[in-house]
Structure 1
Amino acid sequence: MRVLLQRVAEASVTVDGEVIGATERGLLVLICAMQGDGPNEAERLAAKIAKLRIFQDENGRMNRSVLDIGGGALVVSQFTLAADTKRGNRPGFSSAAAPEEGEKLYEHFAQALTDQGIDVAKGRFGADMKVALINDGPVTIWMDTDA
């Protein structure tokens, strides 16, 4: 699974003019299931993200996790994280999981993050979403279960 993780002051996702998910201080998690991914990758990634120390402590050091600060997460599916730009000018997405499998893993990941104790809001898989955020820092981290 691939993730683009952003530390946010707030984030929201809108579909058809309606806000369907939002979080205040915490994380925006853009996620893509890749071919060959399964529930184990989703659970491992959720556990890692829950404990990742990227929030500032009282000394201004990145020493606290989203759990430590009582933050939330907005989880948004984004198959374009699978983009292959090696050839030509149009990215290919063939390494992304098939839509049915991708949706199952997206939902499994969101539940695994909830099971870690994080308040999770979600986008809508496969929808045309508008994502708004205030990036805090900015802090943006790329994660890949294959790396």
Structure 2
Amino acid sequence: MHNFYKLIPHTADLGIEVWADDLVGLYVNSARALFDLIVGLNNIEKKEKQIVSADGIDKEDLLISFLNELIFLFATKKFLFSDFQVGEISDTRIRITAEGEKFDPDKHEIIHEIKAATYHDINIEKVNNYYVTRIIFDV
């Protein structure tokens, strides 16, 4: 477990709470938490770069769309990412460069099979000096 997210209790699905100093960091930490849950961040080498973009109607919708785009890239192209550089971000659009490698069954062990990020209780808020969100993943 890393110091930018924690697991939260949820009956059937997988819940996390993520925090960061700013909104950009919250999106990055949410993506890092996703791949930490899938195979563990320490098991992903930075071998390839991929441009990833997503759109949403507000910052919460954008976060879910962004995470689901990353899940889609893992499900269809087997990309695992561990590092993210944000190129463009607004309340309705994100474009990032993601670094990582393709899934290798000899190297990577699936910890959690995540199907989707859900809209259940999604909310991004500023608490003291941090941006915080809770994300529930369908597993």
Q: What is the TM-score of this pair, normalised by structure 2? A: 0.30
The structure, 1 or 2, with the larger RCO (C-alpha pairs under 8 Å, 6+ apart) is 1
Point out the structure with max Rg over C-alpha. Answer: 1
